[in-house]
Amino acid sequence: MTTPSAVSGRPVAPPNGWTDPPCPVARAVDLVGDRWSLLILRDALGGTRSFTDFQRGLGVAKNILTDRLRRLVDQGLLERRTAPSGKRQEYVLTGSGERLFTVIVALRQWGEAHAFDAGETHSVLVDDDTGAPVPRLRVERSDGAVLTAANTHVERLA
């Protein structure tokens, strides 16, 4: 079963409309800026597919999980389909869902740097081929200069 969005790839506004229609940050936040949605997407990127496994991994109440999975399907981030075994339903990332990898990596790297005390250990995202931790994301110009909030600004298109 696929949603119209998952088929067409067109974005689906949330039921109450977009908070700030011309802003891509706000649209992204309208779609995924929710604690449980972000953690469901984290686990989906890690390979979780069944309701039971999401529930076990997150420890979230079933009614909340049901609601968030339905929203993510309605918005075209997950696709609900019958597992190859034919025995159960599973939730699989769509293309736009998969591309949230960068957002999840950005959250992870910020968390590693700013949400742990010196003595605390945390999980690490590792390159399958080399076994090395994934290098830090850098916002940079094509010549390699680092870009920050201090040397960039937002322009509204006409």
Query: Which is closer to a second copy, CB of 65 or CB of 107?
Result: 107
Decide if residue 67 touches a second copy (CB under 8 A): no
Neighbours of 31 (CB within 10 A): 21
Tokens 């994301």 label which residue? Answer: 137
Count of residues that interact with a second copy, criterion CB under 8 A: 77
Binders of a second copy among residues 129 to 148 (CB under 8 A) are 129-130, 132, 134-135, 137-142, 147-148
Please give the C-alpha separations between residue 40 and each of 78, 91, 136, in angstroms, as whole numbers. 10, 10, 23
Binders of a second copy among residues 40 to 59 (CB under 8 A) are 42, 45-46, 58-59
CB 5 within 8 A of CB 74: yes
Binders of a second copy among residues 77 to 106 (CB under 8 A) are 93, 96, 98-106
In terms of Cβ atoms closer than 10 Å to its own Cβ (0-12, 13-18, 19+), residue 69 is buried
The least CB distance from residue 87 to a second copy, in Å, is 25
Query: Which is closer to a second copy, CB of 15 or CB of 86?
Result: 15
The least CB distance from residue 2 to a second copy, in Å, is 16
CB 113 within 8 A of CB 124: no
Identified binder of a second copy from the candidate list 2, 4, 7, 35, rule CB under 8 A: 35
Decide if residue 115 touches a second copy (CB under 8 A): yes
Decide if residue 38 touches a second copy (CB under 8 A): yes
**How far, in Å, CA of 2 to CA of 13, rounded?**
17
